[in-house]
Amino acid sequence: MTRSLSFTYLFIILAVSYLGGTLLFRELSVGSVEKILIMFDARVVEGRDASLLFPVTTTVLFFVLALAFSRFKYSRFLVVFTGAVKCVLFGVSSAYLLAKGLKIIEYALWWFPFQLLICFALLLYCAVLTPPFFLKTTGRKERNNRGLITVAMCAVLLIGLEYTIFFLIIK
């Protein structure tokens, strides 16, 4: 029962953050949204002209930042917050892409499914790093590093596949 609760918990965080990002897009000016998106994923704004290195670095940075926050007792609450920020950026960038007229086929094949899976993988990674309150165990148990490695490898595979599709279909 508690295992299914964790997936529900993560999907709720993902959905609320995504919707928050789309609502944030409506409140901000287009210029400020473009500045934010160029920092995190320039492919959204620049399209074909964007470089590969910077978006990959920022995606990996979210995983590294979550790992760094989980190492210290007083910053563990920021681990899930890091995943939620990535999901908010997913919502902002999705709204920006749809508002700027990205073809729906490209959006449905490239952007939405891969970003959804990458955001969920990041949230799952965060949940393994610092389990939700209903999964915490008593006593002194160490975290399952095999789960972390598995989720991280799946995320690397998803990121690689997403960039391959971007450069084959979009570019």
Which long-range contacts does 11-17 make (Cβ < 8 Å, 24+ apart)?
Answer: 11/120, 13/80, 13/83, 13/84, 13/87, 13/123, 14/87, 14/116, 14/119, 14/120, 14/123, 17/84, 17/85, 17/87, 17/88, 17/90, 17/91, 17/119
Whether 128 shows a pLDDT value over 90: the answer reads no
**Cβ atoms of 128 and 143 closer than 8 Å:** yes
C-alpha 130/C-alpha 72 separation (Å) is 11
**Cβ atoms of 119 and 14 closer than 8 Å:** yes
Q: What is the pLDDT of residue 2?
A: 52
Q: What is the pLDDT of residue 1?
A: 46
Q: How many CB atoms lie within 10 A of CB 54?
A: 15
If pLDDT is split at 50, 70 and 90, which confidence band does 117 have? very high
Whether 8 shows a pLDDT value over 90: the answer reads no
Q: State the chain's mean pLDDT as an integer.
A: 85
C-alpha 27/C-alpha 14 separation (Å) is 20
pLDDT in tens, 12-68: 999 999 999 999 999 999 999 999 998 888 888 877 777 778 888 888 999 999 999
Q: What is the pLDDT of residue 121?
A: 93
Q: For the chain, which residues make up each domain, given as ranges? A: 1-41+50-170
Q: What is the pLDDT of residue 142?
A: 65
pLDDT, mean of residues 129-157: 74
